[in-house]
Structure 1
Amino acid sequence: MSLILFAFVVRVRDGLPLSASTDFEHNRELQERKKQLRTISKALAGLPDKGIIEGRTLNTFFISSEGVSYMTVCHCSLPIAKAFCFLEDLRWEFTACFKSTVVALAARPYPFLEFDSTIQKLKQQYNQRGGPALEVTLAEVQEDLRLHPPQIINLDEVELTNGIANGHVEQGLGSGQNQRLEPVTALGILSLVLNIMCASLNVIRGVHLMEYTFQDDYDGIWNVVAFLLAFLCCVFQCHLYLFYSSQKKVKSFALLSLIVLCNLFLLGLRNAWQLVFHVSVASLATFLILTRKLQDRNGDCGV
C-alpha cells in the first residue's frame, strides 16, 4: 500500500501551483484533501513554515522555504518524521532544479510540470523502501521536529482566514450565509429531536413552576430561571449545529457548561436518571457541533 499519495509544490506569496505529482488513486478522501490543498495554498502567507492538517485516514503535511511551499498527502500510518523527511528531499530536489528568480517570475499555473517525474521517483523510493537511503537524514529531521514541532492546522480557521483576506466572508461573519456546513447526518437529526424534547421539558416545567412561584413568596424563582436558561441553551445548541458560527468551540462548551450547572441546580426537582438524560443529550449535541465541518469548496487544484 502506498503511504505517500500526492505531492504539491506552490508559491507562497499567491498560492500559484508550480508542480504536482500525477496520482492514479480514486480515493474519495484523497480527492477531498486535494481540494483542501487549494484553500491551504491561498493562505500560506499567514501560516507557519511547518504544519499538519489531520484527516480521517489521510494527513496533509507542508513545509515552506524561500517563498515555496512543499505539500504532501500521506496515509495516517506514515510516521510524521518520514513525511517531513520526504518534504525535505522534495525541497532539495526542487531547489536544485529551479532558481528562486525563475520561480518568482512564473506567471501561469504549473510552469514546472516536468518536475513530476522527479516527484514520482521520490515517492516510489519512499513507498517501496520505506524511507530515505541515508538514515542520518531521518535522524536530522527527527531532531528538528523535536526542537521545532509542526503546528496542527485547523482547516476551518484556514478557510475563514482565507475568506477574510480575499474579502468574501465579511457578510458571513454575522449571518453565516456564505459558509456551508456538511450535510446533517442521521445522528445529527436524532440529536436535534432529543434537544427539542429537552427544551420542551424545560420550558413546560419552568412555566408550570412559575405559576406556583408567583402565587407564593417567590422562593422558587431561581428554579424557574434554571429551567428557562436550560431551555434557551438547548435552543442555541440546535442553532449552533444547524448554522455556521465563528468561535463555535467556545460557544458550544459554554452552552454545555450552563446546561450541566442548571441541571445540577435542579437536582432536587429531577432524579438522577433525568439529570443523566439531559446532560447526555447536551454532550452529544456538543460533540456533533464540534465535528461538523465546513463543506469543501467546489474548486479543486486542477490536477
Structure 2
Amino acid sequence: MIPQTMRLFVLDGARRSYFEHNRELQERKQQLRTISKSLVHFPDCGIIKGQQLNIYFVSSEDVSYMSVCHCSLPVVKAFCFLEDLRWEFTACISSSDVALAARPYPFLEFDSTIQKLKQQYNRSGGPALEVTLAEVEENLRVRPPKEINLDEVEFNNGVANGHTEHSAASGHNQRLEPVSAPGILSLVLNILCASLNVIRGAHLMENTFQDDYEGIWNVVAFFSAFLCCAFQCHLYLFHSPLKKIKSFVLLSVIVLCNSYLLGMRNTWQLIFHVSVASYSTVLILMRKLQDRPSDCGV
C-alpha cells in the first residue's frame, strides 16, 4: 500500500480526494486547464514542479494525459501510470472518436477506468508488471522529461489566447455575437443602397460611353458607393482587424460620393444613403466579439 503522502492523484472532476482541501492541490487543479492550452508548445513528456505536488504530462496522438502527484513519488512511477493510462484510453477510445469530440468532457465514461487504474497502483505500489516499469525507466533515461517553469506556461498560454499582437489574418478565426434584428435591417438597407448605386452606375456608364465620356466621374462615384456598401455588410458580418478605422473610412467615402452626386440625386435620396451608411457604421462598432467557449478536451 502506498503511504498517503505518496498517493497518486488524477484530476477527474468527479471524485473527492485525500488532498481535497489542500491549498496547493486546488492551485494545481486550476493550473491544469492553463497548462493544457500550452502543451502544443512543449515536448511530449514533461514535469511542472511545485512545492509538494508536481504535474506530469505525456502527449501522444493528439491526446494529452496529465496527473498531479506528490513530489515524493518516484518520477518513473508517475510516468508509468500515465503510460498505462494511455494504453487503456487507446484501447477504449478510437482516434476517430477523439477527432470528432466537440463538447467539454466527451469521455466521462472513461472515468471508471481511471479509478480502477488508481486503485491498482494504490494497492500494489506501482504497475502490475515490473517489465513495464523497466521499459518506462529506460525511455526516460533515453529521453528525459523536460522540466517546465510555470512562467513559461503562462507566457505560451497568453500567446495561444491572443494576449499578444494578432496578425491581420487571425481576426477571421474569431466569432462575433449573433446578428441582431437591427443588424438584419441594416444589411437589408445596405443591400438596397448598393443595388441602387450599381443600377444607376451601370445605366449612366452606358450613356457616358455613347456621349463622349462626359460624366465618367459620376460613374466612378456610383460604383465606389456600391463597393463601400458591400464592404459595410462584410464588416458587420465578419470580424476584421482595425474595424473602427475601416468603418469610418467606408462612411467617409460614401458621404463624399453622395456629395459629389448632388446633381444626380435629390436631397432626400442623399439623406437616405448617408443615413443608412451611418446606421450601419454604428451597428458595426457595437457588434462585439463573442466570448470563446471552454476548450473541449479529453
TM-score w.r.t. the length of structure 1 is 0.51
Judging changes above 3 Å, is the alpha-carbon distance between structure 1 residues 98 and 300 closer, same or farther for their aligned structure 2 residues? closer
Instruction: Note if 1:23 corresponds to 2:26.
Output: no
Report how many aligned residue pairs link the two structures. Answer: 165
Instruction: Note if 1:120 corresponds to 2:123.
Output: no
- AA aligned to 1:72 is S
Secondary structure at the counterpart of residue 127 of structure 2: coil
In 2, Cα distance between the equivalents of 1:301 and 1:101? 15
Q: Which residue of 1 aligns with 2:126?
A: 131
Percent identity between matched residues is: 72
What's the CA shift for 1:44?
1.3
Q: Which residue of 2 aligns with 1:209?
A: none
Is the contact made by 2:105 and 2:296 (CA closer than 8 Å) also made in structure 1? no
Is the contact made by 1:35 and 1:301 (CA closer than 8 Å) also made in structure 2? no
Is the contact made by 1:37 and 1:301 (CA closer than 8 Å) also made in structure 2? no
Judging changes above 3 Å, is the alpha-carbon distance between structure 1 residues 71 and 86 closer, same or farther for their aligned structure 2 residues? same
RMSD between superposed Cα atoms in Å:
2.4
- AA aligned to 1:142 is E
Q: Which residue of 2 aligns with 1:151?
A: 146
What's the CA shift for 1:4?
4.2
Instruction: Note if 1:33 corresponds to 2:36.
Output: no
Is the contact made by 1:63 and 1:87 (CA closer than 8 Å) also made in structure 2? yes
Secondary structure at the counterpart of residue 152 of structure 2: helix
Q: Which residue of 1 aligns with 2:79?
A: 84
- State which of 9, 29, 32 in structure 2 corresponds to 1:6: 9
What's the CA shift for 1:101?
0.5
In 2, Cα distance between the equivalents of 1:300 and 1:27? 26
- AA aligned to 1:52 is I
Deviation by residue 1:158-207 (Cα, 9 ceiling, x = unmatched): 11111022211459xxxxxxxxxxxxxxxxxxxxxxxxxxxxxxxxxxxx
Is the contact made by 1:85 and 1:138 (CA closer than 8 Å) also made in structure 2? yes
Unpaired runs of 5+ in structure 2? 167-293
Q: Pick the structure with greater CA Rg.
A: 2
Q: How does 1:1-303 map to 2 (within 5 A)?
A: 1=4, 3-8=6-11, 22-24=15-17, 25-169=20-164
Judging changes above 3 Å, is the alpha-carbon distance between structure 1 residues 54 and 300 closer, same or farther for their aligned structure 2 residues? farther
In 2, Cα distance between the equivalents of 1:102 and 1:124? 27
What's the CA shift for 1:2?
5.8
- AA aligned to 1:123 is K
In 2, Cα distance between the equivalents of 1:300 and 1:28? 25
Unpaired runs of 5+ in structure 1? 9-18, 172-298
In 1, Cα distance between the equivalents of 2:86 and 2:67? 12
In 2, Cα distance between the equivalents of 1:88 and 1:60? 15
In 1, Cα distance between the equivalents of 2:14 and 2:127? 18
Q: Which residue of 2 aligns with 1:197?
A: none
Q: Which residue of 2 aligns with 1:204?
A: none
In 1, Cα distance between the equivalents of 2:24 and 2:131? 33
Is the contact made by 1:7 and 1:20 (CA closer than 8 Å) also made in structure 2? no
